[in-house]
Amino acid sequence: MENVKTITPAEVEQRLKEGETLFLVDVREHEEVAYGKIPEAVHIPMGEIPNKLDSFDKDHEYIFICRSGVRSENVCRYLDHLGYKTVNMIGGMLSYEGETE
């Protein structure tokens, strides 16, 4: 099984601070996102991803985020298999120290 490409929460925060446009997708459940998400992230719960494939462009790289990095890794494996470019934010929101909303 191929390794999933990863990024650290600190790298995400740094790239956002530098004004880079990142395609962030938060795959946590609604009640988890209520505690705060990265402002630039789009919220699509993990279970809805298969029905939202038309939301993704195969030319863009997407960074997937969950609470600890496990669910987002599973989403990355699923989408990698379908030919999308994915990156898993390791450590998830538990490790993210940047601004949240």
- Tell me the β-bridge partners of 26: 43, 65
Query: Which of 24, 41, 66, 93 is flagged as catalytic?
Result: 66
66 is known as an active-site residue: yes
CA 27 → CA 1, 6, 8, 17, 42, distances in Å?
22, 16, 17, 22, 9
Encode burial over 64-96: b for 16+ CB neighbours within 10 A, e otherwise. Answer: bbbbebebbbbbbeebbeeebbbbbbbbbbeeb
Residues catalogued as catalytic? 66
